Amino acid sequence: MLPFPVLIQPGESPVKQVVYAASKAILAGVMRAGDAFPSVRELSEVLKLHPNTVQKVIAELVRDGFLAVRPGVGTVVTTGPRAPDEDRRRALHASVEQLVVEARRLGLECDALVSDVETTWTAVFGATRLTGTGGGAVAVPRRGGGRTR
Amino acid sequence: MTRVVVEGVSYRYDGRGDALHDVSIEAPSGAILGLLGANGAGKTTLLQCCAGLREPMRGRVLVDGVSSARRALIVSGDVGYVAESVRLPSDMTLAHLEWWIAPLHRRWDAALATSLRERFGLDASRKLTTLSRGEYMKAALLCALAAQPRVLIMDEPFAGIDVVTKDEILRGLLATAGTSGTTMLLASHDIAEIESVLSHVAIITVGRVRVSGSMESVRERYRQVTMVGGDALLDAFAGEQRWLEVERAGRMLRIVADGERTPLDAGMLQRRFAGADSITVEDLSLRELFSSVVRGTRADSIRAEAA
């Protein structure tokens, strides 16, 4: 068994699917900084993925700052992703635009969409927020924690 | 050096047309290549040419640069071959069989044989004749894998085998591919089940290669576009060129395209066909791509006969 939930569906790239599942689990605190990440061999066997495909998954997660390779130890979960670079911010903006247009087509007002986004955010990540500029994900109470932006 | 290179291979059975026509594919060390084709497409003939069991009329198959026809690679243990119809010596137990074949292979790995036996849940003291179909195939694959060939050829190893056993076998193959660097050529009709396991794929229809390459490159190259809109728009898009496949029902049109000929981008299509209700560009599963390629080839041959 793997320490994060993932079910590979045919059609979409398995690399994308596993990267998505692992980063979601790390952001949501299912896996925490310092936790050992499964080996290529283990991921390959459990998910029935070719080892080359698993190598690509790990390379992407390392590149995005979710994992670090410790020689002699293996791959471990790190404190969180680096600050997003400009290209990827722009890519995200395109998705947001799509979401906004789709919401409008369904006749939703902006606040209804924002409240949907907030509910989903909490459901996936719990009441966590990114703090500071170092890019580390730290869980802080949403209300009454005495910490405001 | 690329581990397996199939170079312009053609093969013809007496009194029939080309079973294989100018087939070229490549698979690097450690690759698991899925060879897909409808019944009679030429998969078995191609695999037998790779194993050196048949000599191509034209072209050649190289394993680490050595022609598979010139040297009996299968005898030297460089190439392993397991087919659905494989027969093991019936009087033997698995332990006896291992003892018997180990000295024939210079890279025989007894520890690997033991670990595969445990992984596959095989009892070494049972006579091979008493094994179920799935156990029999696992025993055959155990012997082939423990010999650590450079290339392992598997022709329909999963025919008639239950899903749990299939998973055990796939995991055994992955564990071995990851550590020994054996290149595997796998012909199977269970496309959805083997898709994730593959690093490379080749689709053949009537003896010709239609699609081949790494899974990643193939996934990026072939796309499906679904367009919903009025007749004039759908006509315009459908008639734009000879797509790999075109399907239409009511206000919806689905095409499968080779992105190498026509780069397809949702934004570009949305601008060009601004009147459409929706346009989506999506990845294809291997099973969908296979079906499109096979149906496309059949439609072509019907057109050719009619002309």
The answer, yes or no, to whether residue A136 has pLDDT greater than 80, is: no
Structure tokens at B172: 């055994």
DSSP A11: S
Given CB atoms, is A102 within the 8 Å cutoff of chain B?
Answer: no
Average pLDDT, integer, range B211-234: 92
Per-residue pLDDT reduced to its tens digit, B151-160: 999 999 998 8
pLDDT score recorded for residue A133: 41
Given CB atoms, is B291 within the 8 Å cutoff of chain A?
Answer: no
Measured distance CA(B185)–CA(B297) in Å, rounded: 23
Average pLDDT, integer, range B129-155: 93
Residues of chain A contacting B179 with CB distance shorter than 8 Å: 41
> How many contacts, defined by CB atoms under 8 Å, are there between A and B?
57
Partner residue facing A50 (CB), from B174, B219, B286 = B174
Q: Do B30 and A51 touch (CB under 8 A)?
A: yes
Given CB atoms, is A47 within the 8 Å cutoff of chain B?
Answer: yes
Distance of CA B300 to the CA centre of its chain: 23
Higher pLDDT, B12 or B260: B12
Yes or no: say if B82 and B188 are a contact pair by the CB < 8 Å rule. no
Q: Do B177 and A11 touch (CB under 8 A)?
A: no
At A148, the pLDDT band (50, 70, 90 cuts) reads very low
Q: In this structure, what are the phi and psi dihedrals at residue B63, rounded to the nearest 5 degrees? A: -115, 115
Residues of chain B contacting A45 with CB distance shorter than 8 Å: 171, 174-175
DSSP B93: B
Average pLDDT, integer, range A88-116: 85
Measured distance CA(B105)–CA(B107) in Å, rounded: 6
The answer, yes or no, to whether residue B171 has pLDDT greater than 80, is: yes
Place of tokens 């979960």: A77
Residues of chain B contacting A12 with CB distance shorter than 8 Å: 283
pLDDT score recorded for residue B115: 92
Residues of chain A contacting B268 with CB distance shorter than 8 Å: none
* CB neighbour class for A1 (10 Å; exposed up to 12, middle 13-18, buried from 19): exposed
The answer, yes or no, to whether residue B104 has pLDDT greater than 90, is: no
First and final CA of chain B: distance in angstroms?
45
Yes or no: say if B160 and B88 are a contact pair by the CB < 8 Å rule. no
Task: For residue A51, give the chain B residue with the closest CA.
Answer: B178
Q: Do B170 and A40 touch (CB under 8 A)?
A: no
Distance of CA B136 to the CA centre of its chain: 22
The answer, yes or no, to whether residue B75 has pLDDT greater than 80, is: no
Q: What is the pTM of this model?
A: 0.84
Task: For residue B29, give the chain A residue with the closest CA.
Answer: A52
Q: Do A45 and B171 touch (CB under 8 A)?
A: yes
Per-residue pLDDT reduced to its tens digit, B176-202: 888 888 999 999 999 999 999 999 999
From B18's Cα to the closest Cα of chain A, the distance in A is 33
Given CB atoms, is B116 within the 8 Å cutoff of chain A?
Answer: no
Q: In this structure, what are the phi and psi dihedrals at residue B293, rounded to the nearest 5 degrees? A: -65, -45
Contacts of B127 (CB under 8 A, 6+ apart): B90, B91, B92, B93
pLDDT score recorded for residue B71: 56
Given CB atoms, is B251 within the 8 Å cutoff of chain A?
Answer: no
Residues of chain B contacting A49 with CB distance shorter than 8 Å: 174, 196-197
ipTM (interface pTM): 0.83
Alpha helices in B84-188 (DSSP H): 94-101, 110-120, 133-146, 163-180
Measured distance CA(B86)–CA(B40) in Å, rounded: 19
Q: Do B175 and A8 touch (CB under 8 A)?
A: no
Average pLDDT, chain A: 81
Residues of chain A contacting B178 with CB distance shorter than 8 Å: 40-41, 44, 51
